[in-house]
Amino acid sequence: MFGRAPKKSDNTKYYEILGVPKTASQDDLKKAYRKAAIKNHPDKGGDPEKFKELAQAYEVLSDPEKREIYDQYGEDALKEGMGGGGGAHDPFDIFQSFFGGNPFGGGGSSRGRRQRRGEDVIHPLKPDTVTGDIVFVLQQKDHPKFKRKGDDLFVEHTLTLTEALCGFQFILTHLDGRQLLIKTHPGEVVKPDQCKAINDEGMPMYQRPFMRGKLYIHFTVDFPDSLAPEQCKALEAVLPSRASVQLTDMELDECEETTLYDVNIEEEMRRKQAQAAQEAYEEDDDMHAQNFGTRLVGKNICGAVKGFHCDHPDCCSSEIT
């Protein structure tokens, strides 16, 4: 027909596009194309080029004549005209003919091809159809500094011991970029874990956009790890005196001296829980072993140790449990 056989070229590409072996049946091809075409359809946010390649591969491999030529000579033979050519059809037409409608649901028939930006999309509907609502589901993104609870905002701030006792001021950059000056009143002392609030600096209230919640600031105080003796004396001179208890030598002799050490209470509790779980597991294993051992030393009807046979006709065939 051609005078000579065409030059052989790649004959595996279409199979790789569909993700099937060369021995794939027609049912295998349909399943592979259906899954990949829906996933890569441009209307579903897929890659248009990948969608086009899938349609071209399926068009060739689903046609027995084209598939035979492709398997023997490859893609170039189809491009040269053997088998009626390869891949000249619109990928959206192939998609619509395969599914026979809109695989994504909704009223009316499939539009057949992807609508260009700016085109009207027409869906035939029955008269007097009640229009539905568009529902937007928002997922709140975490902020590295602010935390939201309803209409209120929460922020953490760490003070030095000097700032907590003697006063402070700092600038807080709000979510909208405004600079808020945060400061204490003269002589005010901030205690560890104390919270303070600023009105109308939270989030807008629902259905009341001109009203806002509160901004809460949670303060932590960073204490020094240690103090020099002269620093302690200086603090004692300005701070309220210590409520020390005077003990006699006899009372001190009757007391047992203790040693305080640092501990991470959360880590301590986790360790105790893990230890308790391990002990419960070991106790359960011990009880299981004891029950198993008791069962092993049970005896047969004749008195022989269970597990051993004797010559008694009514014994070893019916062991006690």
Q: Alpha-carbon distance 274 to 271, whole Å?
A: 5
Continuous segment of H or E residues that includes residue 179? strand 179-183
Query: Interior CA angle at 207 toward 201 and 212, to 5°?
Result: 10
Which of 222, 245, 271 terminates a domain? The answer is 222
**Last residue of one domain, picked from the residues 189, 222, 255:** 222
What is the number of domains present in the chain?
3
Answer yes or no: is 154 within a domain.
yes
Residues 163 and 218 in one domain: yes
Per-residue pLDDT of the chain (321 residues; tens, 9 = 90+): 444 555 667 788 899 999 999 899 998 998 898 888 888 888 777 888 898 999 898 989 988 898 888 888 888 878 776 555 554 567 887 777 766 544 544 443 444 445 455 667 677 777 777 777 778 888 888 999 999 999 999 999 999 999 999 999 999 999 999 999 999 999 999 999 999 999 989 998 888 777 889 999 999 999 999 999 999 999 989 888 877 777 888 888 888 877 877 778 888 888 889 988 888 877 766 666 666 555 544 445 555 544 555 555 555 544 444
257 alpha carbon, distance to own chain's centre: 51
- Tell me the residue range of the domain where 23 lies: 13-99
Q: Is residue 250 part of a domain?
A: no
Nearest CA among 113, 108, 103 for reference residue 51? 113
pTM of the model: 0.42
Domain membership flag for residue 35:
yes
Q: How far is CA 108 from the centre of its chain?
A: 37
Classify residue 309: in a domain, yes or no.
yes
Q: How many CB atoms lie within 10 A of CB 254?
A: 9
